[in-house]
């Protein structure tokens, strides 16, 4: 890998369900340590695009490359499975509905994958869990069950679970959309902290204020295409496209009212 190779490189991504095209030729490169927000109306394809990055929703066309490795390589089934399980360890993902494993404690949620996939001993895995929980301010809940936590706490544990794999990039799929308004801030704080630690992040979000304050770059998506992209100061203050302006007008009104 030379210096010209982008950190994360998505080339001509396309996805369709039958005749319905949900992603129409999107290309995106992300540098190491960069924080990119993807905004847009629901049904714009932004979540599908995010989920294509770790091949959870496979693309029907185009390539995804992470540090010189193609994520969505075409391989025979067995080899592909081996390959993708390896690559996914480098790509952390946080879901709207947390998806914590309800039958495992907070500790169990975090140590499961490191123990299974990286062969960590119980002691090392515990230490790792403690570190990551401390990072999200949840160390005191290490022996709780997920059902005993609030939504914001669950999401922080979910972030710690993803971080425990030491990922190169973190994907956030509307991480605060399912939360009660008063619980949003604690999750935002954690994400801001990761930003200050220069974690590479791609964030699908409805929160314009958060996107503006944290991200280096904003993509506005609509109907499967990137309508406009640029630094937050431009996208939020001075967008070029009429569609972006319309979306922001509606959305910011909604936020303020």
Within the chain, residue ranges assigned H as helices are: 46-53, 77-88, 106-118, 122-135, 151-163, 181-196, 208-214, 232-237, 242-256
Query: How would you label 122-149 residue by residue, b for 16+ Cβ within 10 Å and e otherwise?
Result: eeebbebbeebbebbebeebbeeebeeb
Stretch that binds another protein, among 84-92, 189-197, 200-208, 214-222 (CB under 8 A): 84-92
Q: Which residue number, 93 or 194, has a Cβ lying nearer to another protein?
A: 93
Q: Which residue number, 122 or 182, has a Cβ lying nearer to another protein?
A: 122
Strand order in the sheet with 20-30: 20-30, 8-17, 61-66, 69-70
Report the site for another protein in 119-158 (rule: CB under 8 A): 145, 147, 158
Residue 8 contacts another protein per CB under 8 A: no
Residue 89 contacts another protein per CB under 8 A: yes
With CB under 8 A as the contact rule, the residue among 5, 68, 69, 117 that binds another protein is: 117
**Which among 54, 6, 52 is positioned nearest to 25, based on CA atoms?**
52
Stretch that binds another protein, among 23-31, 63-71, 110-118, 247-255 (CB under 8 A): 110-118
Report the site for another protein in 183-242 (rule: CB under 8 A): none
Shortest distance, position 65 Cβ to another protein, whole Å: 18
Shortest distance, position 103 Cβ to another protein, whole Å: 5
Structure tokens given for 241: 């496209």
How far apart CA 73 and CA 96 sit, in angstroms, is: 27
**Which among 158, 147, 150, 143 is positioned nearest to 190, based on CA atoms?**
158
Shortest distance, position 78 Cβ to another protein, whole Å: 10
Shortest distance, position 243 Cβ to another protein, whole Å: 31
How far apart CA 97 and CA 10 sit, in angstroms, is: 26
Shortest distance, position 240 Cβ to another protein, whole Å: 35
Greatest Cα-to-Cα distance within the chain, rounded to the nearest angstrom = 56
Shortest distance, position 51 Cβ to another protein, whole Å: 8
Residue 85 contacts another protein per CB under 8 A: yes
**Which among 90, 80, 87, 112 is positioned nearest to 99, based on CA atoms?**
112
For another protein, how many residues bind (rule: CB under 8 A)? 28
Binding mask 153-172 for another protein (x = CB under 8 A): -----x--xx--x-------
**Which among 5, 38, 7 is positioned nearest to 23, based on CA atoms?**
38
- Which stretches of the chain bind another protein, using CB under 8 A? 54, 56, 81, 85-89, 91-93, 95, 97, 99-103, 112-113, 116-117, 145, 147, 158, 161-162, 165
């Amino acid at each position: 890998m030379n210096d010209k190779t982008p950190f994360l490189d998505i080339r001509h991504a396309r996805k369709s369900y039958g005749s319905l095209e949900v992603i129409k030729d999107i290309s995106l490169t992300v540098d190491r340590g960069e924080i990119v927000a993807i905004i847009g109306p629901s049904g714009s394809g932004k979540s599908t695009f995010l989920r294509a990055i770790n091949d959870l929703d496979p693309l029907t066309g185009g390539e995804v490359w992470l540090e010189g490795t193609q994520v969505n390589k075409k391989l025979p089934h067995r080899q592909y499975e081996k390959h993708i399980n390896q690559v996914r360890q480098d790509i952390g993902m946080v879901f709207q509905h947390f998806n914590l494993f309800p039958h495992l404690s907070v500790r169990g949620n975090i140590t499961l994958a490191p123990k299974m996939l990286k062969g960590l001993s119980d002691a090392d895995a515990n230490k790792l869990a403690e570190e990551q929980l401390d990072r999200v301010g949840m160390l005191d809940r290490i022996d709780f069950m997920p059902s005993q936590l609030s939504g914001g706490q669950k999401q922080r544990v979910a972030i710690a679970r993803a971080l425990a794999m030491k990922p190169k990039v973190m994907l956030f799929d509307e991480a605060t959309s399912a939360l009660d308004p008063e619980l949003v801030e604690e999750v935002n704080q954690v994400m801001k902290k990761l930003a200050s630690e220069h974690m590479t992040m791609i964030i699908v979000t409805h929160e314009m204020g958060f996107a503006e304050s944290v991200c280096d770059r904003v993509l506005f998506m609509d109907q499967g295409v990137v309508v406009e992209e640029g630094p937050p100061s431009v996208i939020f203050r001075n967008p070029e496209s009429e569609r972006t302006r319309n979306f922001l007008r509606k959305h910011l009104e909604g936020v303020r009212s």
